[in-house]
Every structure is written in structure tokens, then in C-alpha cells.
Structure 1
């Protein structure tokens, strides 16, 4: 079944027109442009389109850092579902998380990373081909469904492995990452070159020729960036990928030199209350500091009540300084559906949980519906509308092979909110409704122990039963899913 699904996704990708996007996203002063049209966007930040932190498994005890998680690669179905969930709820662009860097604890914690240590002492790091194929597919599916990507390189932090782990390859200190004369910095530039020149195994195009890639970001929350670091990094990226944009990934400040550097297109910032900068005023202050010289982007903000988040989001939509406005903004953060049902989830140190699209009432304690709706309202406002468009009716969900009717598993449709389950004794019916108003959206779902739906009706020994599922939202219903059978022993 998994092999067949992957073949279907590959076949779909191969059938996509060679260039679904007509233009690269370009910069015109303080604005982004798609051709001649101004390009603005809002959304719920989706960091894990290419690598998953599986919180349901808990913390890996073999990681001495004390918080190391279990990670895994997404399936083709999962990536397709997540990207469609974004696009069908109105997302036009998305920033993902960084390329992960190897740690000594990865094997014990059953995880792989994007960047591997050099084979020889002092050599250059290597890209993990297994990892990069998933990255390839993310880009290809984004191209197919119409999602622009912002791709950061290396993290300031250790979460996925960042500057400290890269520096460890060369016996250097983590701060040497920012030293343009260090071995770590040379390795960082080499990683950038390897990535930008990589040929996508799905599209056949080099990354620098992928119109789905809107911008390359120097890294995530690089709060110790120096002028030499930013200028050399930006020049290196622009020399390799002149048709794609460059974002300064500096954190908590606006670099004066980035405002004048010809190779920097976008200046970003992240707002969090722990840094005393999570407010509508920060949008105003940043716009004033940049003074229209470059594009401004609020890469992340969040971890506060919905009403507060709305005040920041509305500032990002409406505030301007000498005619310049924020080009985009993302609320942290989104997790998508699992291959066999339910959602991935993540709990932050504040107690906030990740959001699921298109939003579910059972997550009211996390204000999920309110947050998703304020984001979708902002999307509409950036396009000149005052109210968000209705969701499209959902596509058919995918019913998985039924090992037991006491635990029926399915991959939900991208914008579905609830489901109807039906059963028959013949593959063409007649169909009996056995479950109505079933949701797959609740937080903290654990596939090892939790059941989303069980057939509540009696079954006769020796009888084959046929099952299908239909997705619903406020706009309508899907066609029925595939049919799966189960022989009652």
C-alpha cells in the first residue's frame, strides 16, 4: 500500500506542467512582486514540512541535552496533505525550519539529519541523500499546489542541530560560526553551495531554478550576525541563485548594513513575549527602522491568547511607514495530519499547542478556531477583501487497510472538519451509516494507544464487511473514499 501510494504521488508530480509558476517572486523596493502584482501573505507557520518531531513518543533519554526528541521523515501522502491544507486555507507562502545538523546521539534516538559530518578531518560537510529526497519532494509538491517557500539554512539553536553541532565537526566553538575566517563559516558557505546547486530528484531542476523557492534565509534567529557574516553570506547566495531572494535571518534587531547591502532583499524579525518585543508597536518600530529600503517580514510570532495575536496580526496587515508595509507574517505554529490518522502535535514551554488546519472545536482550550480564523481574515485583508473566503468542500479522505474495525484509520482530507463512516456487506452497497460527526482533529493524539473511530455495530463471524468514509466541512462534503474490506473471523 505504501509503495503504491508513493508511485501515485510520483506519477502526479511527473504529470505537472514543467513550470506551474510563471514568475520568480521579485523585489521592487519595499514590496514583493509576482510578475506585476504585489505579493503579500499571512499564515500559520509550518516548520516541519520536511522533517517531523514526533512528540507522541516523548523525549529521547539517550540525548544528554535533556530535551532531545524523536524525529522522522514524512511520507509522500503526509507532505501532500500538509501542503494542500495550507494552500486550500489560503496560504500563498510558507517558511519552513532549518536543515538539521548531525549530533552524536542521533543513532540512539533513531533519527537522521540533513547535514552529516565530513568523511575526512577538516573536509566539508555532506548532505544526507535520504533527507534531501524529502526536501526535494516538499519543493516539488509546493510547485504543484502553488505554495512559495522561504528556506533557512542553519539554526542558531541546538533543537535540530545548529551552529554548535556544525562547529563541533571542526573542533571550534559555536560562536565561530559567525566568524567569517573560521572553518565553521567555510563549511556553512559550502553547505549553501551544495543545497542551491542540488538537482531536485522529482522535478529535474536545480534548486536555484525552482520558482517555488521564493527566498533563501541565512538561518534561523541568527542573533549574533556580524556585518561580515551577513554581507559574505548574502553575496554568496546571490551569486549562486540570482533569481531568488535573500533574507537576513538576524533576530531581535534590524541591521543597518542590511538596509544598504545590494544582496539582501528581505529583513525579518521574530516576536515573542520572552524577548519583550511581542506587540503591535514592534511592527511599527521595525517598519520605521527599515524605512522602506528593503522588504519587511515578520517571520514568527505567537504563544499568546488569540485576541493579542490578532492585534499583532492586524498591525502587520495595516501599519505602514512612508508607504511601506509588512510583506508577510506567520503565527507559530502548525502541525499536520498523520499518514494513518490523527494529527502530529507539539506543546510549547508556555503550554500552547500547535494549531491544526482548518481548525477544530475540540481544541478550544488552545483557541485553535479563533487563531485560524484571524489568520485567514488577515490573508483576505492583504488581498483587499474584508472577510475570509469560505473553505472549499473537502476532497475524499484516504481509508487505510482495516486490520480491525475496532480501530479504523484514515488520512483526513486537507480541509475536512468531520467525517461520516459507512458500512456494507457488498462492495457497492447498500451503505449503512455507522458513525456521524467523527473528528480527527484533537490534540495530543497518540497512535500507539488512541482510537479515532471504532465500528460500534455487531458483526457476524465469516462475513466480509466493506467500509468507506466521507469528509465534511461547512461548505459541503467530499465524494466517498476508497473502499476497504474486513473479514470477521
Structure 2
């Protein structure tokens, strides 16, 4: 089990009293997958292979949709919450193992709690459609907000059956993220959910952000520690400008997603030298299936290690060098 908590001091993270900066990977499917034989829980081998591959790359933080596991009216019976206020304890098995295995080797996790998009693992529409609401009412309607609150409280207080540790107390969880790429955040909603997490999981940091650009509600909310910005494609100048704005507001800057095809020395070398940039998480890492074959995904940003093509091998080399450059900070 990871021994020390990552903490925040102003606009930087600390681990064991030293600055903590990181090269990160998105491995969204560690709790529930869609890429091997349809929607299914990933096998133990696949979970461990992907986490081991991330470590080999110098990655110290994984951003994953482990905590995004909902559906409408039983449409996805494999979800943690197949329907409002219905719970599937078996769905925690793969989540428990990913956190236990990763944490045992010192990996940290950033976990979005829902998603803007209606993908197979669920999203915020699962809290509005059952009440006949429009998607954007997730942020304003009391029924949707309260249903989401119950889901969050149930999830973060789950006890990992492998470690005996509540998620709320697990040092492997660096931050709970209010959601992935939420487009219509309001200050009131951000404050309420951040306050809930502060109460339910007081040792864990809280992240928030929208898809592109710095989100003002997240930037000014007193309960938010990390402000997440995504880039398709990124530029070193754009990342540096956003990081400076976040740091000037007293928050920790996080690039929660950037396309792996953009990883290069031209992008990452100046950002490794920029102390405002705490973390950069590429999208997205896939390992092997149980037969030893690389798992494919169709979004154009899949990264295999050591790489399928010369271009991908160059991306891998740049990400590895970025992790090495940050290794002077606690890792």
C-alpha cells in the first residue's frame, strides 16, 4: 500500500515534503472495458500489464474512469450503479484490484466521478434521464444533484476488499475529479460537490475542469485543488499560458488529457522546465490482452509500448524522457 499522501501547498503538490510533479497516463478502462469481447470487466492480467507498462514509461499518476460506473434503468448491469440507488458490489472487484495493485507499487490515481459524454461506462445523463430531465439540468435540478450525491458518497466510502482500506482514506487516490470534461459547471454545483468530497474524503484532493480552456468556476471555487485542462492538440505555449493562469489563482495546474500523438521533445521539454506545470496525462495507454496481443482502440490516440510504428516509438521516447526529467521531484 502506498504509504504517504500527496498533499497540496498553494499551487504545488508535495509528497513526503518535496515537490511532486508527474508524467501521467490515461487508462480509462481499468474498471470496466469495451475493447475486448464487448463490455466486460478487464482481466487481472490486463489491469496489471497496463499498470506495469505505465511504470516502465516513468508514469507515476494514472487518470482513469474507475469511478464512472453508472447506467440508466439497468441498461448496463455491470456498472457499480446500474440504476438510481441500485448497487452492484461485484463491479468493485476490478476497481479494487487496480487501486490495490497500482498503490502497492506507488502509483497514484485521479478518478473522474462522472462524464459529460454518454459512453458505455456511464455519465451525468444517468442522473437526469430517469427523472425526465434535460442533460444540463444535472447541475441545477435537486433530484439529479441528490442522486449524484448519493452515488458519490457510496463510491468514495467503499472499502477495498483487497486492502481493507476505504477509498476515502486510500493514499493511492491522489484526487477525485468532479467529472470528465463537464461542459456546464456552475459555481454553486462545484462548491456543493467539493464540499461533499471534503467531508466524505477529507484526506484526498479535489479536481475539476471542462474540456478545453480554464474553467472559471473551478478556478475560483475554494474547495478545488487541481484545475484540469484538456488539449487536442496541445502547444507548449498554450499549456504554459493556462498553467500560469491557474497558478496565479493559487491552484494546482493539471493537463488531464493531451493526445499521445502530440508527445514530442518540442512539446514536453519546455513544460518539464516550467514549474507551473504540475502534471501532464497523455491519452491513452493500452496494454496486451490475455493472449499477449496489443489491444486496439479506434480514437486515433492509442499508445502501445514500445510502439507499433516509428512515429509511435518517437511518442513513447518523448513521454519516457518527460518522466525522467521530472524524476528529480518525488516519484
Partners of 1:22 and 1:91 in 2: CA distance = 18
Higher share in strand: 1
Q: Does 1:247 align with 2:207?
A: yes
C-alpha contact (below 8 Å) 2:70/2:126 kept by paired residues: yes
Residue 175 of structure 2: SS of its match in structure 1?
strand
Gaps of 5+ in 1: 1-19, 58-69, 119-124, 386-489
1:303, distance to aligned residue in structure 2 (A)? 5.9
CA RMSD of aligned residues (A): 2.1
1:155 pairs with one of 107, 115, 120 = 115
- Equivalent residue for 2:253? 296
Partners of 2:25 and 2:165 in 1: CA distance = 28
1:150, distance to aligned residue in structure 2 (A)? 0.5
- Equivalent residue for 1:478? none
Give the TM-score normalised by the residue count of structure 2: 0.91
Residue 208 of structure 1: SS of its match in structure 2?
helix
Judged with a 3 Å threshold, the aligned counterparts in structure 2 of structure 1 residues 371 and 170 are, in CA distance, closer, same or farther, namely: same
C-alpha contact (below 8 Å) 1:99/1:115 kept by paired residues: no
Residue 297 of structure 1: SS of its match in structure 2?
strand
1:103, distance to aligned residue in structure 2 (A)? 4.4
Judged with a 3 Å threshold, the aligned counterparts in structure 2 of structure 1 residues 347 and 165 are, in CA distance, closer, same or farther, namely: same
What number of residue pairs does the alignment pair up?
326
C-alpha contact (below 8 Å) 1:178/1:225 kept by paired residues: yes
Gaps of 5+ in 2: none
C-alpha contact (below 8 Å) 2:190/2:221 kept by paired residues: no
Residue 337 of structure 1: SS of its match in structure 2?
coil
1:355 pairs with one of 294, 303, 307 = 303
- Equivalent residue for 1:13? none
- Equivalent residue for 2:268? 313
C-alpha contact (below 8 Å) 1:149/1:212 kept by paired residues: yes
Structure with the larger RCO, 1 or 2 (CA within 8 Å, 6+ apart) = 2
- Equivalent residue for 2:83? 117
Higher share in helix: 2
Give the TM-score normalised by the residue count of structure 1: 0.63
Give CA-to-partner distance per residue, 1:20-56, whole Å, 9 cap, x none.
Answer: 32211100111111121111111332212222221x6
Partners of 1:39 and 1:172 in 2: CA distance = 42
Judged with a 3 Å threshold, the aligned counterparts in structure 2 of structure 1 residues 283 and 353 are, in CA distance, closer, same or farther, namely: closer
- Equivalent residue for 1:101? 70
2:54 pairs with one of 69, 83, 86 = 86
1:268, distance to aligned residue in structure 2 (A)? 0.8
